[in-house]
Amino acid sequence: MVPNSTIFLKYNSVESFHNFYVPVPECGCWLWDHNIGTKGYGLFAVRLPKGKSMTYGAHRVSWEIHNGAIPKGLQVLHKCDVRNCVNPAHLFLGTHDENMKDMTNKKRHRTGAKSPVASFTARDIYEIKSALPYMQQQELADIYGVHKITIGRIARNQTYINEFDGPRQSPHRRSKKTSLVKHMTKVQEGV
C-alpha cells in the first residue's frame, strides 16, 4: 500500500507524478512513460521520511492520488487492459480472484504452448496428436518424459487444445524433447 496521503503529499509533489505520463486522446489512456517494470507496469518511486524511498506501481499511486487509500486485500485493476495506463477513470478495485476472472474472461491469459511454463512446444503437440493413432499413450509419455495422464489429457483435448494446427514453431524456439518423428524413424529402422 502506498503510504497515507499526508506522508505522500508532504514528501512528493502530485505534479511530479503527472509529469511522467502522456495522455492519448484516441483511447483515453494516460500512458506512463517514465519507469516501466519487466511486466509492463509503470513504476513510481515514492519518497519517504529520512531520505528513504519505495517503488510502487504507478497505477496504484494514481488510484491513491485520485481516490484515496486502497483497502487491504484489494488490487487496482485496469478496465482498458493497458498495463502502463494510469488514468484513474480506467482503474477499478477488485480482489485477486476478480482480477484473474477478468483476465480469463477477456482472454488475456496464455495457455498451451504459449505459456511460459509449458512442457511442450506447438510442434511437440502436433507430433503427439499425429502419433496417437499409432502409439500407446504410455509410449508417448516415456518419450516426452511426462506421465501417461498428461498424454491422455492432450488426446482428449483437455489441455493444449488449440495446438493441432501443425507446427508453427519459430526457428529460434526448438523443442527440448527428442523429436517424435526422429524416434519413430529409429523404431521403424530397428535402431
106-139 per-position pLDDT tens digit: 766 555 555 555 567 778 888 888 899 999 999 9
Alpha helices in 46-179 (DSSP H): 58-67, 96-105, 122-131, 137-144, 148-155
Q: What was the pLDDT predicted at 85?
A: 92
Residue with cell 489512456: 29
Q: What was the pLDDT predicted at 172?
A: 41
Q: What was the pLDDT predicted at 189?
A: 66
Query: Which residue ranges make up each domain of the chain?
Result: 5-105, 112-178
135/156 Cα distance (integer angstroms) = 15
Could you say which architecture CATH assigns to the domain 5-105? Alpha-Beta Complex (3.90)
Using CA atoms, how far residue 173 sits from 87, 120, 181, in Å, is: 37, 11, 17
Alpha helices in 20-111 (DSSP H): 58-67, 96-105
Task: Characterize 30-42 residue by residue with b for buried, 16 or more Cβ atoms within 10 angstroms of its Cβ, and e for exposed.
Answer: bbbeeeeeeeebb
Mean pLDDT of 24-40: 87
Contacts of 187 (CB under 8 A, 6+ apart): none
Strand ranges of the sheet holding 53-57, from the earlier edge strand across to the other edge: 35-36, 42-47, 53-57
Mean per-residue pLDDT of the chain: 77
Least confident of 92-101, 123-132, 138-147, 180-189: 180-189
